[in-house]
Amino acid sequence: MVSIEQVLRDHQIRPTAIRLLMYRFLKDSQVALSLNDIESGFDQSERTTLYRTIKTFERKGLVHQVDDGTGVAKYALDKPANGKQSTQDLHLHFHCTNCNETTCLTEHKIPHISLPTGFIPEDMNLLIKGVCDKCSGQ
């Protein structure tokens, strides 16, 4: 079990106060967070700094951006690459139209897709919209 400080260092990120706080904040969240969500979670906070922090996390491979179709970027911590570095595990994302929360379904991978000749895939995003488990009451 590694300290957050160490996790950051392992990703070439200097563990400053805000970074540690934001990491913990992201880690404690079950859903993907927008910059506004993050900002609301801090008392004193400069949104530019938060913005640059999340972008640093993204660039260094700590978080991934989630596009849930709302037009607002959200972010979620990458699953700690267990053992080997899976380039990127293309899991699906669920956006609840009721509570507006967006969840990473990390266990549900995107099935293989065949494309017309000439189209070379490099990345993909499968977004499901509907009602989440909390809202459906099931």
Partner DNA sequence: TAAAAACATGCAATCTGAGTGCATTATTGA
Partner DNA sequence: TCAATAATGCACTCAGATTGCATGTTTTTA
Q: Decide: 77 and 27 in contact? Cβ < 8 Å.
A: yes
Nearer to DNA, 58 or 89 (CB): 58
Q: Binding residue for a copy of itself (CB under 8 A) from 49, 63, 92, 101? A: 92
Q: Binding residue for DNA (CB under 7 A) from 7, 51, 126, 131? A: 51
**Using rule CB under 5 A, residue 104 touches Mn ion:** yes
Residue length, the chain?
A: 138
Distance of CA 2 to the CA centre of its chain: 20
Q: Which of 1, 5, 40 is nearest to 20 (CA)?
A: 5
**Using rule CB under 8 A, residue 122 touches a copy of itself:** yes
CA 32 vs CA 28, 78, 111, 117: distances in Å: 11, 11, 22, 35
Q: 62 Cβ partners below 8 Å, 6+ apart? A: 7, 8, 11, 13, 23, 77, 78
Which residues here bind Zn ion, judged by CB under 5 A? Answer: 96, 98-99, 132, 135
Which residues here bind DNA, judged by CB under 7 A? Answer: 13-14, 16-19, 34-36, 44-49, 51-53, 55-56, 71-73
Which residues here bind Mn ion, judged by CB under 5 A? Answer: 76, 104
Which residues here bind a copy of itself, judged by CB under 8 A? Answer: 67, 69, 71, 73, 92, 94, 97, 105, 107-108, 110-111, 113-134, 136, 138
